[in-house]
């Protein structure tokens, strides 16, 4: 084992606080602050997803101006009503999310989950239920956990509403989406989710949670399944939005 990996393992064992992105030791002087798990250098790389942006999918625009629908949402309205992410996908946050998913480091879900409710809070109404974007069963067996479900658990606890991890299911083959363009992702994920049509979902306001929203292909497909199963409204919450 490489010396750095040995040190990392020892630090984990001793619960030494380290930056979730770069492993630098931190003092956690911020206590329960949303940024407490990041070192000062990494905090500087976190970029808020600010206006102007699309009020539907959360895509941010360059320059100044008012929020307005993006071309994708004008051409093809998604089934979800709104999508919110507190930060853009990049810098230390991207590194932290990749470590969370692929290191793997499921225990980072608490620190990362705080990012949902940092700064000015989430501008979404309280949902009736929180539902994570499900992993394909083969991916779940490989990784051992669903990162979206761990983040959704944190969101449900804050909102004090039920967490539902069984209604929405992923079907089809577990094929990687990296490297695909928007059209390819939308085509591949069409019909990739099914939802049980139950009385507990009918007429509810659902908060759909994912770690990152990129082309919106995944959350579009998931929201479509939830609405078809009876959800009155679906809002999307993620840690980061790709620009």
For the chain, domains (ranges, CATH) are 1-44 (no CATH), 47-241 (3.40.50)
**Pairing between β-strand 82-84 and β-strand 205-213 as defined by DSSP bridges:** unpaired
Closest CA to 73 of 88, 83, 87: 83
With a cut of 50, say whether residue 7 has pLDDT above it.
no
Check if the beta carbon of residue 83 is closer than 8 Å to that of residue 236.
yes
First to last CA, the chain: 37
With a cut of 70, say whether residue 120 has pLDDT above it.
no
Each residue of 201-233: pLDDT tens digit? Answer: 999 999 999 999 999 999 999 999 999 999 999
Each residue of 45-84: pLDDT tens digit? Answer: 999 999 999 999 999 999 889 999 999 999 999 999 999 9
| Per-residue CA distances from 185 to 79, 198, 240 (Å) | 16, 29, 18
Each residue of 123-141: pLDDT tens digit? Answer: 788 999 999 999 888 788 8
Could you tell me the pLDDT band of residue 35, with boundaries at 50, 70 and 90? confident
DSSP letter at 115 equals: G
Check if the beta carbon of residue 78 is closer than 8 Å to that of residue 215.
no
Could you tell me the pLDDT band of residue 15, with boundaries at 50, 70 and 90? low
Q: What's the CA gap between 17 and 79, in Å, rounded?
A: 41
Residue 95 CB-density burial (10 A; 0-12 exposed, 13-18 middle, 19+ buried): middle
pLDDT at site 140: 83
With a cut of 80, say whether residue 195 has pLDDT above it.
yes
Percent of the chain with pLDDT over 90: 57
Average pLDDT, rounded, for the chain:
85
Q: What's the CA gap between 42 and 144, in Å, rounded?
A: 28
Q: How many other C-beta atoms can be found within 10 angstroms of the C-beta atom of residue 14?
A: 7
With a cut of 60, say whether residue 234 has pLDDT above it.
yes
């Amino acid at each position: 084992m490489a010396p750095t990996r040995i040190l990392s393992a020892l630090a984990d064992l001793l619960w030494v606080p380290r930056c979730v992105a770069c492993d630098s030791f931190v003092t956690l002087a911020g206590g329960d602050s949303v940024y407490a798990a990041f070192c000062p250098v990494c905090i500087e790389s976190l970029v808020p997803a600010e206006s102007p942006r699309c009020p539907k999918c959360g895509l941010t625009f360059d320059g100044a101006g008012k929020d307005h629908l993006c071309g994708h949402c004008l051409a093809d309205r998604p089934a979800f009503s709104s999508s919110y992410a507190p930060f853009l996908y990049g810098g230390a946050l991207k590194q932290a999310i990749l470590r969370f998913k692929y290191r793997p480091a499921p225990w980072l879900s608490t620190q990362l989950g705080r990012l949902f409710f940092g700064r000015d809070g989430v501008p979404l109404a309280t949902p009736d239920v929180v539902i994570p974007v499900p992993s394909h069963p083969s991916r779940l067996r490989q990784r051992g956990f669903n990162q979206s479900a761990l983040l959704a658990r944190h969101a449900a606890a804050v909102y004090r509403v039920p967490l539902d991890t069984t209604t929405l299911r992923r079907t089809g083959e577990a094929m990687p989406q990296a490297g695909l363009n928007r059209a390819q992702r939308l085509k591949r994920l069409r019909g990739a989710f099914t939802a049980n049509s139950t009385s507990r979902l009918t007429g509810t306001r659902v908060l759909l949670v994912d770690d990152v929203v990129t082309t919106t292909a995944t959350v579009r497909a998931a929201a479509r399944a939830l609405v078809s199963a009876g959800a009155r409204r679906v809002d999307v919450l993620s840690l980061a939005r790709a620009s």
